[in-house]
Amino acid sequence: MLRGVSTVSASEPYGKNQELLLTNGYRGMGNGRKGFTIVELMVVVVIAILVTSITVRSIGAAQAAYSTRAARDVFVGLVSQARSQAIESGVATALIVSAAGDSALILNGGGNNTIVNFDRQFEVDLRMSTANIVLCMSPRGYASSSCTNFSSVQTVAFQNNAEVDSLRLYPYGQMRY
């Protein structure tokens, strides 16, 4: 027989190995212990807290990115709406953007005015190099230089915490983002 190798007989299926396991304190699944120890529960709680905090941070960042993008898209829609209202009504229409009030207003001679407050609706701050921007659209759908108060490209930034989305507004009503 080889040294260190034990044989198992049919009458003793586990032989000395079973006695060795029982003497070391291992009793298998039926050891009489019920439930979990406090250490095991604390490990599970710590892991759950870590996973939750990581998830909440990523959701907050995604929400900030979504709100800045949505505010920018609404601003683009306002410029298009001012242009279409001027064409439909045959009257010059003004888009007034206020950085101090975080808002934009479409003034139409026909009394069909639209106001968007970016701070209340999207929790976004407007950042511009000037306090107010006025962009006037003529009844032909072009930006009118008669009441537009800027002659160079203006950057309009939408900021929510660290997330910033911006666009460039040209004096003739075009936008790039």
Average pLDDT of the residues of the chain: 85
**Residue 22 confidence (pLDDT) above 50:** no
- Give the helix ranges, DSSP H, for the chain: 15-23, 38-89, 118-122
Evaluate whether residue 125 is within a structural domain.
yes
Evaluate whether residue 71 is within a structural domain.
yes
Give the 3-state secondary structure of residue 153. Answer: coil
pLDDT tens digits along 27-50: 555 566 688 899 999 999 999 999
pLDDT tens digits along 92-105: 999 999 999 999 99
Count: domains in the chain: 1
Contact criterion met (CB below 8 Å) for 155 and 166: yes
CATH at residue 155: 3.55.40.10
Evaluate whether residue 33 is within a structural domain.
no
Evaluate whether residue 86 is within a structural domain.
yes
Q: Collect all residues with Cβ–Cβ distance below 8 Å to 86 and sequence separation of at least 6.
A: 92, 93, 108, 137, 138, 139, 141
